[in-house]
Amino acid sequence: MERRFESRRGFTLTEVMVVVGIVAILAGIAIPSVIGYLPTYRLNGISHELMADLQSARLYAVRNNGRCVLEFTPVAYNGTTGGKYKGFMDTNRDWKDKDAGGNNEAIVIPEVTMPASVTLYTALFTDNGNGLGSSKWMIGFDSSGVASRANSGAYVSGYILVRNNRSNFRRLYISPAGHVTIKRSSDGAKWE
């Protein structure tokens, strides 16, 4: 009688343990760098989302032949998360999110709160004529797509500053023509 050896397929326990060990070592090396990149990733993400929302508000104003206002609520940097913004149609041209009858204006951009470790630090525009004091900052786009003031129609320019907990900054410049550009800085002083 002839004896045949069947071929056995698979891995030994030793081989599996070696592979698991290698994967664990690679994960130990990769995870800290991925975690270190998350604050910058979030900062870039909210900067581009903010830029898209500014452009969306501008297009909405042109499409609807009216003024679309973005209202920013920056907070002092405290190392965590803070600040928000929203956009609405300003049908009665008073820079408020309520119409003359006290009803809410049409919401164009629902309120956006900054993600973890990102702060909306400043929103500074040339006098936009809103007369609402220093707790809120606003910019509006009119029916021709330019950034304009309430009554005088003078053009506005300015910037929005966001930062993360690793002292990385993004500054979104809004020109009087309504164009938005993003600059970055690692110290808040030198901008690229």
How would you write the pLDDT of the chain (192 residues) with one tens digit per residue?
Answer: 566 666 677 888 899 999 999 998 888 888 887 777 788 889 999 999 999 999 999 999 999 999 899 999 988 877 677 899 999 998 887 888 888 788 899 999 999 999 888 999 888 887 655 555 443 588 889 898 988 765 555 677 889 999 998 889 999 999 888 899 999 999 888 998
Residue 81: HSE in the Cβ half-sphere, 13 Å Cα cutoff? 11
Q: Determine the pLDDT at residue 76.
A: 82
180 is written with which tokens? 């938005």
For the chain, give the number of residues: 192
Question: Measured between alpha carbons, how far is 149 from 129 in angstroms, rounded to an integer?
Answer: 6
Strand order in the sheet with 118-125: 118-125, 158-164, 169-174, 180-185
Start-end of H helices in the chain: 13-63
Question: Measured between alpha carbons, how far is 117 from 82 in angstroms, rounded to an integer?
Answer: 8
C-alpha triplet 182, 139, 132: angle, nearest 5°: 135
| Unique residue bearing structure tokens 């042109």 | 62
Nearest to 128 by CA among 99, 158, 106: 158
Question: Measured between alpha carbons, how far is 113 from 81 in angstroms, rounded to an integer?
Answer: 9
Question: Measured between alpha carbons, how far is 119 from 126 in angstroms, rounded to an integer?
Answer: 22
Exposure b/e, 181-190, CB count within 10 A at least 16 = b: ebeebeeeee
Cβ(141)–Cβ(71) below 8 Å: no
CATH fold of 13-185, please? minor pseudopilin epsh fold (3.55.40)
